[in-house]
Amino acid sequence: MVSSKDVAKYAGVSQTTVSRVLNTPERVKEPTYKKVMAAIEELNYIPDANARSLVQQKTDTIALISGPLYNPFFVETTSSIVNYANENGFKINVHFSKNENITDTYHSIFENKVDGIILSSILLEDPIFEKLEKSGIPFITYNRKHESNKNFVEMNNEQAGFLAADYLLSLGHDKICWVGGPLEISTFKGRYDGFLRAFQKNGVAVEQERVFLTDTSKKQLHETFLKMEMLEEKPTAIYAATDAIAIQMMDFYISAGYRVPEDISIIGIDNVEIGQHASINLTTVGISSSMNLGQLAIETLIDMIHEKNKPCIQITKAVRLFERKTTMSRRRV
Amino acid sequence: MVSSKDVAKYAGVSQTTVSRVLNTPERVKEPTYKKVMAAIEELNYIPDANARSLVQQKTDTIALISGPLYNPFFVETTSSIVNYANENGFKINVHFSKNENITDTYHSIFENKVDGIILSSILLEDPIFEKLEKSGIPFITYNRKHESNKNFVEMNNEQAGFLAADYLLSLGHDKICWVGGPLEISTFKGRYDGFLRAFQKNGVAVEQERVFLTDTSKKQLHETFLKMEMLEEKPTAIYAATDAIAIQMMDFYISAGYRVPEDISIIGIDNVEIGQHASINLTTVGISSSMNLGQLAIETLIDMIHEKNKPCIQITKAVRLFERKTTMSRRRV
DNA sequence: CAATAAAATGGTTACGTAACCATTTTGAGT
DNA sequence: ACTCAAAATGGTTACGTAACCATTTTATTG
């Protein structure tokens, strides 16, 4: 592999001069500059960013740990994060969080001496949070947060949970099934808390047999669908803790011959783009901004990287209801 | 930042011994091993992967240049690529190709001395291909290829184009609009060639006013939709060169009050997962395999990285029609 | 117990780049 | 033409890790 030492020898100058040609060309005489550039072209020399990182103690790299892309929420946030970071001179190492190797993922990220970490993989109680803090690397969590309540960007999940449930209850539904994810995750915990508060406010009891916790995989969602089919009193509404879950439940219900919302109402949370598609038209709750949580988080993180002073970031965006076509008043027969 | 030299000094051994503890612990006496590990824990030492890369002349990193994630095809391939690579000890630097900064993207990738490059951004005629070859870095293109016909994984685009058009023609449609992308891209060129061949085989003339080339953005697709609405003889079928285009055109048509397929048939190509959703049910053409092109490409690339001998990879997967619910026989009134 | 071989540990250098300091060259002023 | 300051270029070292070679320690064998 060609190095700047090779270029120097070929051009008849010092390695220092080659480095100056690339980095501070104004400090190099024109004839010398041309001679070195010709050598660079001739030898097809490309500087080594890893060696540079060693010297300058920065990598211009950010590590992203996203949720899985079968959730369109993460499709949108991943796009925003990668594009914004690239536009600001950062490379992005992407990882999709998987519980079975998250430790290896974190280890790999720390070894890479990244300049920042943006993640949506943290649990309410997670020992990694302390390690993140001790590492000294600027980091931010999006769509999730640690119980310490630091360094996060999120929507108001409790408010979202409340609005969605309150809306269904206001339509007359009381046989509502909750389909969510693990309550060790702040997103689901917050939305479930809101769900409970809405029921309490409306004086309606929550029936535990109608609460389904899943790992949000298609497989477990299908099992949940089958369980709901077996209920003595079938639900009249599905409260899905995310739009991804809602869209997947729609698939199961429509495939089974149900009409949405005539036979069953379905609501989600997140307000993902695909939910606005004319053949889906998902009623949902989400933030009003055109900027998604990933965009907000990466902009905040890059500020943190540049400014080196780390005020504690705590951003919680308000939400609102987006009433579309997958919900209607409970049919009375 | 704590280095192995600091650990060595703290533990009272040499830096060589610290390196051995981490890499070949079997060559270190147990008491020495324990002493060094205690120092590592105490100092919270994390090895520097960049320095290691300098020594070992490998980075365990692969660069991915994907298409944009508003195309679900790239959602699926990005997932597969990142997950498979991580499982095989590689990190992935992700870029989403944008014409306006593709040169910077390539430059950044070369500087990072990645071990392999997997890309879906190449044009039929693209000077970057020669640079890729000269770099000596193993690389593979997926879903697209260069005119040199080397180092690619693709579906048979001409066959896909033919099958989709032939199918629409067999349903009696002859007012078919093609909505595709730039023909400088092998994917669209191949599919269009197949489209033309089907028309020729069926003895039907292609009307150029019904051929729409776009950059596949929602904006230009909407403009195309408006243009089609203005046609004297409106189309009875939309042949979308990708499922993403098809799903977007469905959105426009349904929002405008049309029923799919009663009022207009729509077909796509790629067979993306969301196309099987019960409220979309897209008729499409795609590969039969459970393994998507991204999965196939990354497995092939990692083989190339490990084996250092580079037989010229040329993989073209056969396709078939998936008849679902967005197409029906042309209505005769 | 001594010699020798194996095991364990240490020292030096290189990987490529750039920061820092030194030296040489060039140009301006008297 | 000489002197001095500025500009241009060069030399050395460090960043952190590991490969390679050297030295020391330990264990085995006669």
> What does the pLDDT look like over B276-297, one tens digit per residue?
999 999 999 999 888 899 999 9
Angle at Cα B288 formed by Cα B286 and Cα B291, nearest 5°?
100
Per the listing, tokens 């047999």 go with A209
Say yes or no: A326 contacts chain B, CB-CB below 8 A: no
Burial of B220 per CB tally in 10 Å (0-12, 13-18, 19+): middle
Residues 68-127 of A with CB under 8 A from B: 68-70, 75-76, 78-79, 82-83, 86-87, 91-96, 98, 101, 105, 108, 110-113
Cα–Cα dist B112/B108, whole Å: 6
- Residue A330 banded pLDDT, cuts 50, 70, 90: confident
Tally: H helices and E strands in chain B: 12, 12
Residues whose CB is less than 8 angstroms from the CB of residue B232 and which lie 6 or more positions away in sequence, other chains included: none
User: Which amino acid is located at B104 in the chain?
Assistant: D
Give the phi and the psi of residue B240 in degrees, each rounded to 5.
-95, 130
A265: helix, strand or coil: strand
Q: What's residue B333's pLDDT?
A: 53
CA A166 to chain CA mean position, Å: 26
Could you check: is the Cβ of residue A30 within 7 Å of any atom of nucleic acid strand C?
A: no
**Do the bridges between strand A283-287 and strand A319-322 make them parallel or antiparallel, or are there none, so unpaired?**
antiparallel
Full strand arrangement of the beta sheet holding A139-142: A314-317, A152-155, A139-142, A116-119, A61-66, A91-96, B91-96, B61-66, B116-119, B139-142, B152-155, B314-317
Q: Name residues 30-89 of chain B with a Cβ under 7 Å from nucleic strand C.
A: 31-32, 51, 54-55, 57
How close B319 comes to chain A (CA, Å)?
24
Look-up of token digits 């197949």: B194
Q: How far apart are CA A183 and CA A193, in angstroms?
A: 10
Q: What's the mean per-residue pLDDT of chain A? A: 94
pLDDT of residue B82: 96
Closest CA to B152 of B326, B297, B34: B297
Closest residue in B to A55 (Cα–Cα) = B51
pLDDT tens, chain B, 333 aa long? 899 999 999 999 999 999 999 999 999 999 999 999 999 999 999 999 999 999 999 999 999 999 999 999 999 999 999 999 999 999 999 999 877 788 899 999 999 999 999 999 999 999 999 999 999 999 999 999 999 999 999 999 999 999 999 999 999 998 999 999 999 999 999 999 999 999 999 999 999 999 999 999 999 999 999 999 999 999 999 999 999 999 999 999 999 999 999 999 999 999 999 999 999 999 999 998 888 999 999 999 999 999 876 678 999 999 999 999 999 998 765
| pLDDT score, position A92 | 96
- For chain A, the first-to-last Cα distance in angstroms comes to 78
Q: Which nucleotides of C are covered by protein (CB under 7 A)?
A: 7-12, 14-20
Cis peptide preceding A261, ω within 30 of 0:
yes
Asked if pLDDT for residue A199 goes beyond 80, the answer is yes
* Rounded average pLDDT over A203-213: 94
Which chain D nucleotides are covered by protein, judged by CB under 7 A? 7-12, 14-20
A169-174, Cβ contacts within 8 angstroms, sequence gap of 24 or more: A169/A198, A169/A199, A169/A202, A169/A204, A171/A237, A171/A265, A171/A327, A171/A328, A171/A329, A171/A330, A172/A329, A172/A330, A172/A332, A173/A236, A173/A237, A173/A265, A173/A330, A174/A204, A174/A236, A174/A330
Position A309 scores a pLDDT of 65
Q: Which residues of A touch B48 (CB under 8 A)?
A: 54, 111, 113
pLDDT at B307: 87
* pLDDT at res. A307: 87
Phi, psi of A159 (to 5 degrees): -60, -40
Closest CA to B186 of B104, B272, B126: B126
- Please state whether strand C lies within 7 Å of residue A53 at its CB atom: no
B14 CB below 7 A from strand D atoms: no
Q: What is the ipTM of this complex?
A: 0.93
Please name the nucleotide lying closest to B31, CA to C1': C8
In terms of Cα–Cα distance, which of A155, A88, A91, A90 is closest to A120? A155
- What's the rounded Cα separation, in Å, for the pair A9 and A1? 14
Does the CB of B291 have a partner CB in chain A at under 8 Å? no
What CA–CA distance (Å, rounded) separates A104 from B83? 13
- Measured distance CA(A304)–CA(A138) in Å, rounded: 6
Mean pLDDT, range A194-208, rounded to an integer: 95
Residue A66 has pLDDT above 80, yes or no: yes
- The confidence band for A101, taking pLDDT boundaries of 50, 70 and 90, is confident
Q: What is the pLDDT of residues A3-30, one digit of tens each?
A: 999 999 999 999 999 999 999 999 999 9
Quick check: helix, strand or coil at residue A239? strand
Residues in chain A closer than 8 A to B98 (CB atoms): 83
Q: How confident is the model over A242-294, as pLDDT tens digits?
A: 999 999 999 999 999 999 999 999 999 999 999 999 999 999 999 988 889 99
Single-letter amino acid code for the residue at B171: L
DSSP-derived 3-state class of residue B267: strand
For B261-299, letters b (16+ CB in 10 Å) and e give: beebbbbbbbbbebbebbbbbbbbbbbeeeebbbbbbbb
User: Best mutation site among B117, B222, B263, B279 for testing chain A: the one with the most A CBs within 10 Å?
Assistant: B279
> Dmax over Cα atoms in chain B, in whole Å?
92
Distance from CA of A80 to the nearest CA of B (A): 10
Distances in Å between the Cα of A51 and the Cα atoms of A33, A58, A78, B4, B62 are 23, 10, 28, 18, 18
Closest chain B residue to the Cα of A67, Cα to Cα:
B79
H-helix segments, A112-185? 128-135, 157-170
pLDDT at residue A333, rounded to an integer: 53
**Distance from B203 to chain A by nearest Cα, in Å?**
35
Gyration radius of chain B's alpha carbons: 26
Residue that has been written with the tokens 């943290």 in this structure: A122
Instruction: Write out pLDDT tens, residues A280-325.
Output: 999 999 998 888 999 999 999 999 999 876 678 999 999 999 999 9
pLDDT at position A1 is 85
User: Measured between alpha carbons, how far apart are the two ends of chain B, in Å?
Assistant: 78
Q: What is the pTM for the complete model shown? A: 0.94
How many C-beta neighbours within 10 Å does residue B255 have? Answer: 14
**A98 pLDDT tier (thresholds 50, 70, 90):** confident
* Closest to B179 in 3D by CA, of B105, B231, B143, B131: B231
Do residues A98 and B96 lie in contact, with contact meaning Cβ atoms separated by under 8 Å? no
- What is the sign of the dihedral through the CA atoms of B274, B278, B282 and B288? positive
Position A138 scores a pLDDT of 95
Position with higher pLDDT, A99 vs A112:
A112
- Beta strands B152-155; B237-240: pairing state: unpaired
pLDDT value at residue A310 = 65
Calpha distance B45→A135 (Å, rounded): 10
**Is the CB of residue B215 less than 8 Å away from at least one CB of chain A?**
no
Residue B330, pLDDT score: 86
C-alpha distances in Å from residue A24, one per residue of A16, A19, A20, A51, A294: 11, 8, 5, 18, 35
**In chain A, what residues touch B1 (CB-CB under 8 Å)?**
57, 113
Question: B83 and A93 in contact by Cβ < 8 A?
Answer: no
- Is residue A34 pLDDT above 90, yes or no? yes
